[in-house]
Structures are given as structure tokens and as C-alpha cells.
Amino acid sequence: MVDCTDAIATNERRRNVSSHSSDASSPTTSCAISTEYGDAFPPRPPQEKLPQDEAPRAASISNTTLAKEIPELEAPRNTYSTVDDSSTGDAQTLQIETVSDWGQAFTPIADDQMSTSPQGMLSSLEEARLLHHFVCKLGPWFDISDTKRHFTTVAPCLAASSPILMNAILALAALHLSHIADYDPYEAVRYHDRCIEMMVPLLDDDDQIKDDALPFTSIILALYEDLDHGADSQRHIFGTSLFLPARGACLSSRLRRAIFWAHLRQEIYVACTQQRPVHVDIDNGTFDPSMEPADDHVWVHRALWICARVVQWAFGDDPTHASWRELKHLVDEWDRRRPKSFAPVFLRERCPREDRWFPEICYVTDDHVTGCQFLLLGRLILTAHDPMIPRIGPRMRPAIAKMQEEVCSHVRTLCGQALHNNYVPAGFIAVLSIRMCGSWFKDRNEQEHLLDVLKIVEQKSGWPKEKAEKGLIEEWS
């Protein structure tokens, strides 16, 4: 529980100062947020009463100050991110508790206060808190298999001198908060529109396209649209492609390589949703796809590369049998030769009789969750597109039934991985598999539990479930 009395009182004093009112009293109100997200917005320390003739000054953060402060931010407890977290709990019973007074702790930000300074300075404490929320909650979503954590540590510092990137960060943070708590969604829209307004003129400027802030911005805006529309838009996926050459895996900059792998994860998701090939040239880079011993983050990249190739094959123009066998061999080889660290640290199979509809699967790190999920997604797609299934004849029906049951088993595993690990984007892959294959589930109780997965992912991430939920109900009716 977080008491917002001090924050509300401070806002009231500011209003009183600006109107030169003699009444400096403030309402006594408290608001409750779950410990899941509440600690990201600590109560403000008590402040002395401002003189009537002294206006409050907006908070500003220089490049140097921002670079020093970000590493010292204390990660909130009970997070679903790569930040160290000792919390435990059953994700299937996750509840997000909010109250309507939550948003009152944040002073509305006027248009002329937004991040328009050439130095990208923050104009208020509320903006600093939005930046803090991005660093602690959302940045780690992008930093999978990135040992330098570019989105968590580099992007916020770069944003201090890039208004376009700062507005993208603040837009995503505000949108996420508007979905998981009672925060005004209009603030997200204003930051987003300001970012787009600044970004569009730069797309035709070859010199500006070399700016590292732009691919960061495009990746962040792509997630913004995912949370806003459920991954049905791909404008910023295309935008990111403008800032990265086709041979993305051989980018010389370590920063650009990190952005490339984040972009590839988003591109695989959108390509599966729209059943089209990935718009990334994954065959012409210097990336080593061998199965030789390597660090865990390299094995995550290999899983992504294999999954992207599977999507390319399944939704491309030439799905040959020979290519299917080659890809199936790659998937099996990754599973056989991957490091032992990718094995679950806890595994209990599903048992509907005990009301356990999905397996309980726990991994050590978010990298392991991501690598195993994307490889399993590739296996699921290969199974669903098995060219060996008879097209006609008496063996067709049992072969299709066997294929569908195997695919459903993969969906259950993806759901178990998402429910029992703290990495929030794991829920996106689980939802993707449900959207693609949910119509093959026939048991009414299991259908209800699949809908529960959509609800849990929405509660944890802010991802909108309405369209997917409606589609499933129509399929099952």
C-alpha cells in the first residue's frame, strides 16, 4: 500500500500558489496499489510550504545527472522483469488492485511542459517517475539476451539529449500505467503524438537515420502499438527496418545488434499474427548458427534465428518438404545440444483431475524462458504445417487429429512457461499460440482456462485481450 496523501497535498499547494489563494489546506486522501506496481512510485517526501510569491520549479535532469541516477534506482519488489526479484507467487491467481484516486497523485502535464527542449530535459517530477517506471519495469522487456542491457541503461541516458526518444519512453510508460492502474491515458497519447510529429520529418534525412536514438524510438513505439492495439498494427515494425540494414545480424555496433535482436522478436510475433514472412534478411548476416558451445545469450539468438527461419518457410512462397526436414533437424539439434542451464529447474506435468490444466515449468533466468519459448513456437509451426500429413484418404483424419493434439500440447507448455516465470513478455508468446491454435481445443473447462491466461497476461502486462477473447469465443460457439 502506498499513501498518496503527501503527493496530493503537494499538488494542492501548487494549485494554491498559482492562484495566490490564501487557503493552503489539502484533502486527506489515500490510495491503494498492489505491491506489484506500487513501489515504482514511492510517496514524495514532506515538503515545506511554499511562500505565496514563489512558484514551484519544474524538475530538470541533465545528461550527467541522469547517467548517474539511473543505476541507483531501486527496483520495485514483486516485479515481472529481469531486475533481481526474490518474490514468488502463483501467476494464475495474480490480482491487480487499483483505486480510482491513484491518478490524482500525478499532476496533469500541460502541453508546453512536455519534453520539447533541445536537451530533452524533463519538465516535472511526474515525467521523472515515468522514466523510472520505464527503467524498472519496461526496459527489461527489451533486454533479453543483451548482456549490456541497452534499453535499460543506454536508452534512458541517450534520451536526455534526444527529445524524440524521451517522448517515446514517456509515452510507453504512461500507456502501460494507464492499463494496469488508474492513470490518465491522455498523457500517453500526448507524448506519443509529440514523438510521431518529431519523427516523421527525419525518415527522409539520411544523416538523421544514422542516429542511434531513432531505432530505439521505433522499437519502443512498436511495443506501444502492441499494448494499444494488440499487435494488429505494424507501422513502427516497418519503421525500424528503415534504421537497420537488411543484414542486421552483422551490424558492427553492439548497440545496433541489440536493437536488431529486439526487432527480430517483435517481427516474429507480428509475422505469426498476420501469417506472413518476417521482413528481415536472416540469411545474409555473419551470425554463427552453429550448435557449438557458446554463452547462453548466443543460444537465445540461435533459437530466435531458427524460429524466424521457420516462420519464413511456413508463410513464404516455397514451403518445400526438404526445407521442412532441415528446419525440423535444426529444432531437434538445438534441443539436444543446448546448455543444461536451459533445462527447467522445476517441472510438474499438467493434471486436469487436480485442476492443473497447464504444466508448471520454471527456469533460472528470463533468457532461458525466451530461448525455450521461441524454439517451441518454431516447433509448433512446423508441426502444424507438416507436409507429411495425407491430404486425402483414410489416413488423413487420424493424422490431422494427432497433429492437432501435438500442437495443443505445445500451446499448453507455452502457457505453463508464461504463468510460472516472472518474464512478462512470455505471456505474449503464450497468447500468440492461443490465437493461432485455440480453435482446436474442444474441452469447455480447458477453453475457460485459456481465457484465464488472456486475462492474466492483460493484468500483468497491460496487453488488451478483447479482440483475441472475442475471436476465440466465436470459434468455440
In this prediction, residue 249 carries a pLDDT of 46
Confidence tier at 230 by pLDDT (50, 70, 90): low
Asked which of 229-233, 359-363, 449-453 is least confident by mean pLDDT, the reply is 229-233
pLDDT digits (tens, 9 = 90+) for 419-447: 999 999 999 999 999 999 999 999 999 99
Stretch 369-379: mean pLDDT, rounded? 98
Q: How far apart are CA 33 and CA 43, in angstroms?
A: 12
Q: Which residue has the higher pLDDT, 290 or 309?
A: 309
Residue 63, pLDDT above cutoff 70: no
Task: State the pLDDT at residue 90.
Answer: 39
Average the pLDDT over 109-128 and give the result: 65
Percent of the chain with pLDDT over 70: 69
Average the pLDDT over 287-305 and give the result.
91
Q: What is the rounded CA–CA span in Å between residue 410 and residue 405?
A: 9
Cell, residue 314: 511456413
Look over the chain and give the mean of its residue pLDDT values, rounded to a whole number.
78
Angle at 278 between CA 273 and CA 284, to 5 degrees: 165
What is the pLDDT at residue 243?
A: 56
Of 408, 423, 422, 424, the closest CA to residue 376 belongs to: 408
**pLDDT per residue over 389-416, tens digit each?**
999 999 999 999 999 999 999 999 999 9
Q: How many whole angstroms separate alpha carbon 473 and alpha carbon 444?
A: 11
Average pLDDT value for residue range 165-169: 96
**Least confident residue range of 41-50, 147-156, 372-381, 436-445:** 41-50
* Residue 429 identity: I
Cell of 382: 512446423
Which whole-number Å values give the CA distances from 29 to 46, 105, 437, in the listed order?
15, 10, 47
Q: C-alpha grid cell for residue 449?
A: 482456462
pLDDT higher than threshold 50 for residue 72: no
Helix or strand run (H / E) with residue 346: strand 346-348
**179-183, 336-340, 364-368, range with the lowest pLDDT:** 179-183
The predicted pLDDT at position 284 comes to 58
Please check the confidence at residue 80 and state whether its pLDDT lies above 90. Answer: no
Q: In this structure, what C-alpha cell is assigned to residue 32?
A: 491503494
DSSP string, 228-272: HHSS---HHHHHHHHHS-S-GGG-SSHHHHHHHHHHHHHHHHHHH
pLDDT at 241: 52
User: C-alpha distances in angstroms, 104 versus 95, 107, 188, 267, 431?
Assistant: 22, 7, 16, 37, 33
Residue 174, phi-psi category: left (phi > 0), alpha (psi -120 to 50), beta (remainder)? alpha
pLDDT at 106: 43
Residues linked to residue 356 through DSSP beta bridges, in sequence order: 351
Average of per-residue pLDDT across 42-51: 45
451 Cβ contact list (under 8 Å, min separation 6): 469, 472, 473
CB of 83 closer than 8 Å to CB of 75: yes
Enter the pTM of the model: 0.74
Q: Which of 41, 68, 210 is nearest to 153 (CA)?
A: 68
pLDDT category, 344, cuts 50, 70, 90?
very high
- Taking residues 179-208, what's their average pLDDT? 88
Residue type, 428: F
If you average pLDDT over residues 214-224, what whole number do you get? Answer: 92
Highest mean pLDDT (candidates 278-282, 315-319, 458-462): 458-462
Q: What percent of the chain has pLDDT over 90?
A: 57
Phi, psi of 240 (to 5 degrees): -65, -35
Q: How many CB atoms are closer than 10 A to CB 56?
A: 15
H runs (alpha helix) in 275-395: 296-314, 321-337, 366-384
Residue 284 CA to residue 191 CA, distance in Å, equals 37
Query: Which of 231-245, 343-357, 370-384, 426-440 shows the lowest per-residue confidence on average (mean pLDDT)?
Result: 231-245
Residue 445 grid cell? 473447462
Average pLDDT for residues 310-337, to the nearest whole number?
Answer: 93
Q: Give the dihedral sign, CA 220/222/227/229.
A: positive
Q: At what angle do helices 254-274 and 296-314 cross, to 10 degrees?
A: 40
11 has pLDDT over 70: no
